[in-house]
Structure 1
Amino acid sequence: MKTLYELKQNLATVGQQLKKVEEELAAKAIDPNATMEDIQALQKSRDDLKMRFDVIKEQHDALEAEQKAKFQAKNGINSVEDPKEKVIKAKAELIRAVMQGKPVPDDVRAALGDRNTTGGEKFLPKTVSTDILVEPFVKNPLREIAIITQITNLEIPKLSFTLDDDDFINDTETAKELKATGDVVTFGRHKFKVFAGISETVLNGSDSNLVSYVESALQSGVAAKEKKVAFATTPKTGEEHMSFYATGIIEKTGENLYKAIKAAIADLHEDYRENAKIVMRYQDYSDIIEVLANGNATLYAAQPEQVLGKPVVFCDSAVYPVVGDFSYSHFNYDLNALYDRDKDVKTGIEQFVVTAWFDHQIKLKSAFRIAKVAPEV
């Protein structure tokens, strides 16, 4: 049996002969001195070479496909035994396939927990979608204290438990809210896109570096979107319910921010005050310490919880401190995230694009307070 190299050589030789005969035939066809016998002889020679070329090509393609399959089996996803390494390699292959405009191989999808039985080639595999959208990371401080889920058409009760009558709700504010808005939260689908710019160097680099770079970029984008909607002072139309500052949460004021935060904590019902935390800007906390310390260095070494009475989470997006039980702050992502590619024509950088749908629901406004400095009279 001939080798692939020999078949390539034969294919090239016959191909050159075929090309030469075709050129001669074209020349004879327009030559008035050429006889029909000459033209028919060249046609027969062309047809013979074409048949030989097709037979060799069929053998060549079959052998090449066989060797390629063996190579992929040896060097593909399934050749990696370590589960973590297999997922990293599969993620890298998915990213490269998308950036090159090629379909994602079935073994890559299988390694990422997606058998693709629905034919939804543009749906992000479960493993990748979860790592980007749901896995905790520190770039959005709210993720440390809020609820994050990934469930389509999510509906949940506002309270985690109920009794056979409404008298158990001691907080009249909560009772009024439940009566006005109902006791079930229904999550919507609000679309957003995240772009990860990938240079050719990164794309052709190691699997681990490529995956780490892209996931980090996408996670940062997701975190930025979450913070933007949760602390928007002028939210987009349709996103008002996502913002702590636009949903009608009670504001407590004081002559300074320290007293406003204390008033906000005190105003919470004990059911929420027990698990309350304070989300605020570090600069605002530093200003409070400077005022309270009044030259006393001891206070600078104290933990924020010792100073304000509740755990503090710093977030520069919180232009006004938000105080409350953040288990009632809930981010939910739709399961079906899409992937695509784009190109920044200004820089020439290719973009790996993820389109996702999410919602942020403040399940109970009565579980929160906003602290503000009272305006000067």
Structure 2
Amino acid sequence: MKTLFELKQNLVTIGQQLQKTEGELSQKAVDPSASMEDIKTLQKTKEDLKARFDVIKEQHDKLEAEQQAELEAKAKAGSLGISNENDPKQKAVKAKAELFSATMANKPVPVEVFQVLGDDSSTKGGKFLPKTVASDIISEPLVKNQLRELSTFTSITNLEIPKINFTLDDDDFIADKETAKELKATGDLVTFGRNKFKVYAGISETVLQGTHANLVSHVEGALQSGVAAKERKVAFATSPKTGEEHMSFYSTQNNIKKVEGDDLYQAIRKAIADLHEDYRENAVVVMRYQDYSDIIEKLANGNATLYSVQPEQILGKRVVFSDAAIDPIVGNFAYSHFNYDIGTTLYERDKDVKTGIEQFVVTAWFDHQIKLKSAFRIVKVTPTP
């Protein structure tokens, strides 16, 4: 069951799609050139969206009415010492520790633990990871994915959003011709899929028997780092796995425009200039630190003072370093979007027979969509012979 906040978000999203379809249907109905097949298709789409809207609204109203009952149920968690904890953060830590410990011991997780962690009271947790734990896993990783500070991150099931957040009544309002061609070729909506992956957190007996804080910190830290590493890997993959091609900036499927220059400094400056001004204003350069050091060494030519200058002053745009960026990427990373389906995040236990270490395993689903390829450029160096 989704959280009340997620249901509200979904209501807004479906409502906007329904409103758009109704508008298109009204236009087709008065257009003599429109075929009855087109009108019937729009009518069917409208009916489907209305049905989905009604289902979500029913879930929203039911959950809202159950909140008081859930609060009373949480008060019964005294046997675990959870309800007696006044600090909400400490209460969550105790509940998470109980979840991890019970799972590793192959014991059922108490209902009140799921309730404290925000799970639905009617399902009693089932095999799904509680919302609090799932949300925390995709935040603040120890292993850093530099795109976390640049890209958009959401956790909405079946997310579908427009590539451009606004439209005008004049179809020619898009000044960038590359963007106009892209929208014409691929449509104006982005639909997020569900790509499965697993993250393993190894837990030794010492950690498992330690304090709640240490257990939770260890498991969440390992899971967060695994998630961040997966995000970074798919976004910068030079040879993406089958089914993950659309997630990589470097994939031939996305075919992001390449800008070449005699050296890296010249190529990056040319790539920034090649972006349309709509994207150039908020453009960022993502590149390897080693590549930036080579640029500085060449530009400095023995002048040590250049090494203390901020990268933004050298290249003209904010610079973010990532060793995964084999070729520098320039663009507006607001059009890079990661979405997680945390409503179906599963957890289980496993054992590494080679080391004897127990594993807390999370199976998650996510997707990375480059909403507009026109908003990015890949930098390549092609020295003049």
TM-score over 0.5 (shorter chain): yes
Instruction: Name the counterpart of 1:312.
Output: 319
Q: Distance in 2 between matches of 1:368 and 1:103?
A: 49
Aligned counterpart for 2:302 among listed residues 291, 295, 300:
295
Aligned counterpart for 1:346 among listed residues 325, 349, 354:
354
Q: Distance in 2 between matches of 1:135 and 1:281?
A: 22
Larger Rg: 1
1:363 and 2:371 are equivalent in the alignment? yes
Aligned counterpart for 1:255 among listed residues 259, 262, 274:
262
Q: Distance in 2 between matches of 1:306 and 1:232?
A: 29
> 1:138-194 CA distances to partner (integer Å, 9 max, x unpaired)?
711100010000000000000011111221100000000000000000000000000
Q: Distance in 1 between matches of 2:127 and 2:320?
A: 37
| 1:289 CA drift (Å) | 0.5
After TM superposition, list the pairs within 5 Å mapping 1:196-215 onto structure 2.
196-215=201-220
Instruction: Name the counterpart of 2:181.
Output: 176
Q: 1:228 to 1:75 in 2, by over 3 A?
A: closer
Q: 1:75 to 1:182 in 2, by over 3 A?
A: closer
Aligned-partner SS, 1:123: coil
Instruction: Name the counterpart of 1:131.
Output: 136
Q: 1:91 to 1:228 in 2, by over 3 A?
A: same
Instruction: Name the counterpart of 1:154.
Output: 159
1:259 maps to a residue whose letter is Q
1:372 and 2:372 are equivalent in the alignment? no
Aligned counterpart for 1:234 among listed residues 236, 239, 251:
239
1:277 and 2:284 are equivalent in the alignment? yes
Aligned-partner SS, 2:362: strand
| 1:375 CA drift (Å) | 5.3
Instruction: Name the counterpart of 1:220.
Output: 225
| 1:133 CA drift (Å) | 1.8
How many pairs does the alignment contain? 307
Aligned counterpart for 2:111 among listed residues 106, 114, 133:
106
Hey, which bits of structure 1, 4+ residues long, moved more than 6 A?
Answer: none
| 1:76 CA drift (Å) | 2.1
1:346 maps to a residue whose letter is K
Identical positions, percent = 72
Aligned counterpart for 1:122 among listed residues 113, 127, 131:
127
Q: Distance in 2 between matches of 1:375 and 1:299?
A: 24
| 1:137 CA drift (Å) | 7.0
2:285 maps to a residue whose letter is I
> TM-score, with normalisation over the residues of structure 2?
0.77
| 1:80 CA drift (Å) | 1.2
1:327 and 2:309 are equivalent in the alignment? no
> 1:184-215 CA distances to partner (integer Å, 9 max, x unpaired)?
00000000000000000001111111111111
| 1:107 CA drift (Å) | 1.1
Tell me if structure 2 keeps the 8 A contact 1:134–1:150: no
- Aligned-pair RMSD on alpha carbons? 1.6
After superposing the two structures, state which structure 1 stretch, 238-247 or 129-138, moved more: 129-138
Q: 1:309 to 1:137 in 2, by over 3 A?
A: farther
Q: Distance in 1 between matches of 2:229 and 2:77?
A: 39
Gapped regions of structure 1 (runs ≥ 5)? 1-70
Instruction: Name the counterpart of 2:34.
Output: none
Gapped regions of structure 2 (runs ≥ 5)? 1-75
Tell me if structure 2 keeps the 8 A contact 1:197–1:350: yes
Aligned-partner SS, 1:340: strand
Q: Distance in 2 between matches of 1:135 and 1:360?
A: 18
Aligned-partner SS, 1:331: strand
> TM-score, with normalisation over the residues of structure 1?
0.79
Q: Distance in 2 between matches of 1:139 and 1:177?
A: 32
| 1:104 CA drift (Å) | 1.1
Instruction: Name the counterpart of 1:31.
Output: none
| 1:102 CA drift (Å) | 1.0
Q: Distance in 1 between matches of 2:256 and 2:192?
A: 19
